[in-house]
Amino acid sequence: MGSGSEYGLSERGEPKERTPSGAGAAPRHRVRLDQPRAPRRILLPEYDPEAFGRFSERIARFLGTGRFLVWMSLTVLVWVVWNVFAPKALRFDEYPFIFLTLMLSLQASYAAPLILLAQNRQDDRDRVTHEQDRKQNERSIADTEYLTREIAALRMGLGEVATRDWIRSEFQDLMKDMDERHLFPHDGSRGSDEGDR
């Protein structure tokens, strides 16, 4: 039996590094398929997309409630009343309310993508639910077809089985036939069979 070096194995049984033939060739780094790759360094910050999605859904749900409308209306009302009736030195947004407009447009620009993200997540959930419902319906249809075939086979099998009524009618027909042939006496008593012995 040959040694491991004939098969490209080292003394410990691991594959040897092969170098291309020729003088001065540098050894190549061999990729091991039996070991996981070392993780790459990522310079960008990492975040959990599911956590961000859940957060966006909570915000989108809150934006769709009456409580949000009440708080938003109260905020705008307090803002306008403060900047109209407060002393001049304490006002921070004069009559055209430019800063209020900026804040409302900023809130709307963040609310729209959050609502769309929440809708996309809901669409994904609905797609999975519809797929599961479709598979369940296919299984139910297959079960129903199987049961229908089994019931049809049972009916065909029962069509060939003698029922009690059929046997009773056959016995009655046989009794009538025997009466017509006078095998039984009409008075209902049978003759003695002593002469036959």
How far apart CA 137 and CA 148 sit, in angstroms, is: 16
Q: List pLDDT tens digits, range 53-62.
A: 888 889 989 9
**What's the full length of the chain, in residues?**
197
At residue 94's C-alpha, the angle toward residues 90 and 99, to 5°, is 100
More confident call, 190 vs 93: 93
**What residue type is assigned to position 74 of the chain?**
L
How far apart CA 88 and CA 82 sit, in angstroms, is: 10
Q: Which residue has the tokens 């809130």?
A: 107
Q: List pLDDT tens digits, range 170-187.
A: 889 988 888 888 765 555
Query: What's the token pair of residue 19?
Result: 């170098």
Q: List pLDDT tens digits, range 62-115.
A: 988 999 999 999 999 999 999 999 899 999 988 889 999 999 999 999 999 988
pLDDT range class, residue 197, cuts 50, 70, 90: very low
